[in-house]
Structure 1
Amino acid sequence: MRNLNLDQLQTLVAIADLGTFAAAAQALHLAPPTVSLHIKELETRLEAELVVRGRRQAELTPAGEVLVQEGRQLLLASDDLVERVRRRAAGREGVVRVGVSAGVSTRLLPLMLEALAQRCPGVELRLEAVGSAESMQRLKAGTLDLAIIASPQPPLPEVRQTPWRNDPMVALLPASWEAPDTITPDWLASRRWASFAPATQMHGLIAHWFGQAGHHARPFLTLSYPGALKSLATASRCAALLPLEEVQDLQGAPEVQVRPLSPTLMRPMAVAHRHHPSPAVQSVLELLAEFADAH
């Protein structure tokens, strides 16, 4: 059997998205008979009915649904390959796919992106919000090139982990609260506080901090992004435990107060990548090293 024709596959996906053969023809700038021919040839090649034509709407058969679902990924991979070839032919360095965990500072990330754009304009970063454990698996599978992860993660032979930052955690409190100079688990356990979602390593770090003091404290609310936690404290809703790097822009702000934690709680992070990185990935690694702290 011959390989799938990507143009025909794109036609099927367009029909699934737009609902009719006519709409797909218009969107793809094809003649209606060409759209019908694409589907007929696909069905002949696969020996399966893929689309049922209705009076108003075309509906996918179960076989068609499978092909569309997997075909979307195939088309994305094809587009990515074409872009990489064009970049290489034009002398540009390439695309680097980066997984970013929830703990990465929303203040630090734009600074890194700006520095990369100035130093390596030929490198395009494609950022994905991915949990640390999933990032490791995707690095192993080759669907990510690099990831900023909570550390440590279980080792994988295909992936190298390099310590990157070890930032202190602080408490961000509403300005109206009467708070001590340092925030302890005993003081915070009886108050409203927000934390990172349970699936994150940050959640585990904070739970352990409370646990060492004999508390099984439950957060008032859990969220996945640091910016949302900052907003809660700013709106005088509750306290939030965040990396100091994340709240430096709020130091001295009248609507909140920043307090250190006692005992100290640190947020360790690492940079993970496959062995033998490409020149484009290596340029990103060198830039990230400049934003590392002293370990």
Structure 2
Amino acid sequence: MREISLDRLRTLVAIVDLGSFAEAARALHLAPPTVSLHIADLESRVGGKLLSRTRGRIQPSTIGETLVERARRLLADAEQALEDVERQVQGLAGRVRLGASTGAIAQLLPQALETLGQRHPAIDLQVAVLTSQETLKKLVEGSLEIGLVALPQPQVKGLRIEPWRRDPVMAFLPARWECPAIVTSGWLATQPLILNDNTTRLSRLTSEWFASDGHQPRPRIQLNYNDAIKSLVAAGYGATLLPHEASTPLPDTRIVMRPLQPLLWRELGVAHRAGEVERSTQHVLDVLWGLSAG
């Protein structure tokens, strides 16, 4: 079935609004024969007369009125669609999909979301809770625009992965414990522990930290939600190792933080597809780079 051209619908609406083929031709910058051909084509398509002349003025027929009403909606929708796309091209609006771990989402993204909302309120940032490997996979597939991933990562074809933040991993301990000023793996290995589950890069980092001094402690529980881990520490259930971002508030007063010996760092990177980046995605990247810490 032949589709109806928007150009022909625009011609029909102009004739009805101006009451004349000649006026419509002038308004649309078309030759008069072209206007007549547009209407003839529409009438052939619908199988009936769309216009009639009454007292020297062109008026729509009954079926013409129905088509004009629908045509106005279609033309308005088409115009709105173009405006929406232009706003996205200009970076004034758009959707950006980002993948990150629960820790990054809870501690770092709120600041980014607040800044983005102030600078670019029409950009919709959609966030998915994913491991670093899941994030990289979805970036390659094209179902994400940006990822926050643990470093180091091997290079992935088609992606750019750049260092973003380097935050110290600290010991979080129940305040009622008698705690040393500096926590070693030897001391911490003898304490009840709450650690990240072994699917995370942080779990591998902490295991390597203990193993470097010959320890392989067994945690009481493993979780992948840092706020829940801190709640258990506050309750006295055990100690943990977690990154501490300088911009985040100090933990619950029932928790004390201590530096580690040797030092341990959690490094995060920003990943996105290589090549030209849409402006809305670039705006989000700019906000994230504003939160980078060395």
With the shorter chain as reference, the TM-score category is 0.5 to 0.7
Whole-Å separation in 1 of the counterparts to 2:246 and 2:219: 19
SS in 1 for 2:85: helix
Deviations 1:182-207 (A, max 9, x none): 11100010111111111111100000
Tell me the secondary structure at the aligned position of residue 257 of structure 2.
strand
Q: Deviations over 1:101-122 (max 9, x none)?
A: 2341623221111011001112
Gaps of 5+ in 1: 1-83
CA distance in 2, matches of 1:85, 1:237: 58
Larger Rg: 2
Question: 2 CA distance for matches of 1:254 and 1:148?
Answer: 30
Q: Distance in 2 between matches of 1:162 and 1:247?
A: 21
List per-residue Cα deviations over 1:151-186 (Å, max 9, x = no partner).
Answer: 111211210001000100001111110010011100
- Secondary structure of 1:177's match? coil
Q: Paired residue for 2:152?
A: 152
Alpha-carbon distance between aligned partners in 1 of 2:258 and 2:83, rounded to the nearest angstrom: 51
- Whether contact under 8 Å (1:93, 1:279) holds in the other structure is no
Give, in whole Å, the separation in 2 of the partners of 1:105 and 1:243: 13
Q: Report how many aligned residue pairs link the two structures.
A: 211
The percent identity for this pair of structures is 37
Shift of residue 242 of structure 1? 0.8
**Partner residue in 2 for 1:264:** 263
What is the letter of the counterpart of residue 199 of structure 1? T
Contact in 2 for aligned 1:226/1:246 (Cα 8 Å)? no
Which residue identity is paired with 1:263?
Answer: P
- Secondary structure of 1:250's match? coil
Superposed counterparts of 1:96-135, under 5 Å:
96-104=96-104, 106-135=106-135
Give 3-state SS (helix, strand or coil) of 2:106's partner: coil
- Structure 1 counterpart of 2:283, one-letter code: S
Query: Do the aligned partners of residues 218 and 193 (structure 1) sit closer, same or farther apart at CA in structure 2, a change above 3 Å counting?
Result: same
Q: CA deviation at 1:247?
A: 9.4
CA distance in 2, matches of 1:290, 1:176: 37
Alignment equivalent of 1:88, drawn from 75, 85, 89: 85
Partner AA of 2:245 in structure 1:
E
Match of 1:184 in 2: 184
CA contact (8 A) 1:107 1:246 kept: no
Question: How much does 1:85 deviate?
Answer: 7.9
Residue matched to 1:18: none
The structure-2 alpha-carbon separation of the partners of 1:274 and 1:90, relative to structure 1 and needing over 3 Å to count, comes to closer
User: Structure 1 CA distance, aligned partners of 2:287 and 2:127?
Assistant: 16
Take 2:216 and 2:133, find their aligned partners in 1: how far apart are those partners? 25
Q: TM-score by structure 2 length?
A: 0.68
Runs of 4+ in structure 1 over 6 Å off: none
Tell me if the contact between 1:170 and 1:258 (Cα under 8 Å) persists in the aligned partners. Answer: yes
TM-score (norm 1): 0.67
Alpha-carbon shift at residue 254 of structure 1 (Å): 3.2
Tell me how far apart the structure 2 counterparts of residues 247 and 116 of structure 1 sit (CA, whole Å).
17
